Structure 1
Amino acid sequence: MDTTLTKHERNLSAIIHAATLSRYFIPLGNIVLPLVLWLANRNELKFVDYNGKQALNFQISLILYSALAGLLTIPFFIGSFSDIFHNSVWQDINQWDTIDFHWESSSFPFNRFFWPVGIAGFVHMILSLINLIYTIIATLRTNEGTYFEYPITIKFIK
């Protein structure tokens, strides 16, 4: 614990980390609130400057990872369109005498679609859990006066 840090610096740094949890209440609150607090105090307090950069870099990195996981599912989603319309009820709609309203699960073969979406959803859930756990740890450690560094963070703000 650094004894030269004031209680105000430690509390303000902890509030910056805790403000990232506002994403659950305010859209993009995990970026906007810490950014406002950091910009208002970065020139006077070096500990607040360090922690503001850490919190913002971590949140931006998690948004990037989540977007990449979502983007990876797009080819599978587009590729599943041919399966939906091939040899199914949709193809037989012009043949009015053979309409069969009994739909089987094989009429909609989405299995190629659900695996990537499920994996991307799992990745997003893990990222949300990592965000929650490390934000709480960072808030507590920063309030103690420790310089905390988040894992899996890309240094966008140096």
Structure 2
Amino acid sequence: MQREDNQFLMFTHLSQLAHFVFPFGGLLVPIVLWQIKKDEILNLESHAKEIINFQISFSIYAIVAGILIILLIGLGFLLIIGLITVIVPVIGAVKAANGEFFKYPLTIQFLK
């Protein structure tokens, strides 16, 4: 039986910040949390898929921006991407703590 746990959903959103601790942590930690608790936490699947889609999308954007550094325009994009990957997960965490679902901006829907 699944239970509602907004605090765990909030933690799942904040776990994306693990990319500052180790490479790909922002993608791997949410996946691990999802797989461990998927049968216990209500709405975890939809939140986790949104988080994973966001992480994959912004990894692609960062790679493209890295390539665009050659044209001297990628550095600004990397700065913007860096800010978004910090600010948006915090917004998602606050929304989850309040029992709301947050649709991440500029996210490609790989997992539906």
Counterpart of 1:136 in structure 2 is 90
CA deviation string 1:118-141 (max 9, x = no partner): x20110110111111111100111
In structure 2, runs of 5+ residues without a counterpart are none
Matched-pair contact (CA < 8 Å) for 1:43–1:49: no
Residue 31, structure 1, aligned to residue 31, structure 2: no
Q: Percent identity?
A: 30
Counterpart of 1:10 in structure 2 is 6
**Highest Rg: 1 or 2?**
1
Length-normalised TM-score, structure 1: 0.65
In structure 1, C-alpha distance between the alignment counterparts of 2:74 and 2:68, rounded to whole Å: 8
Residue 61, structure 1, aligned to residue 57, structure 2: yes
In structure 2, C-alpha distance between the alignment counterparts of 1:150 and 1:132, rounded to whole Å: 12
Counterpart of 1:85 in structure 2 is none
Counterpart of 2:74 in structure 1 is 120
Measure how far apart 1:11 and its partner are. 1.2
Length-normalised TM-score, structure 2: 0.89
Measure how far apart 1:12 and its partner are. 1.3
Residue 52, structure 1, aligned to residue 48, structure 2: yes
CA RMSD of superposed structures (Å)? 1.5
In structure 1, runs of 5+ residues without a counterpart are 77-115
